Structure 1
Amino acid sequence: MKRQKRDRLDRAQSQGYKAGLNGRSMEECPYQQTDAKSFWLGGWRDARDDKNSGLYK
């Protein structure tokens, strides 16, 4: 059970990261559950920071 939960949250973070790199808004988060939403937003913030620091163009 823990493995499924961890995989779901990792997937939410990676989807958030991709969304941040593509310039999507944080309001476009598809998750409503608190855990998954916080992981998605964390990935989104990481991507925005990486993009702003010049890691991606």
Structure 2
Amino acid sequence: MKRQKRDRMDRAFSKGFQAGVGGRSKENCPYSGLDSRSQWLGGWREGVDGRLNGLFNK
């Protein structure tokens, strides 16, 4: 069975989340497109919120 690629927006969100949990700056966003960038920043915000609330350890 072939493995399907994940949706690009899901991938952008996931990468942003990982960056937020890792404590990286939001200026490090690798996306320039509006939709992908907004998904990445949304994931970044959730990752930062989780890290600040103590859900994740670095």
TM over 0.5: yes
Alignment of 1:9-20 (within 5 A): 9-20=9-20
In the alignment, structure 1 segments of 5+ residues that lack a partner are none
What SS does the aligned partner of 2:7 have? helix
Aligned to 2:7: 7
TM-score by length of 1: 0.87
Give TM-score, length-normalised by structure 2.
0.86
Q: Which has the higher helix share?
A: 1
Q: 1: CA distance between counterparts of 2:51 and 2:24?
A: 13
Post-superposition shift, 1:32? 0.2
Runs of 4+ in 1 over 2 A off after TM superposition: none
Counting matched residue pairs gives 53
- Which structure has the greater CA radius of gyration? 2
Identity of aligned residues (%): 53
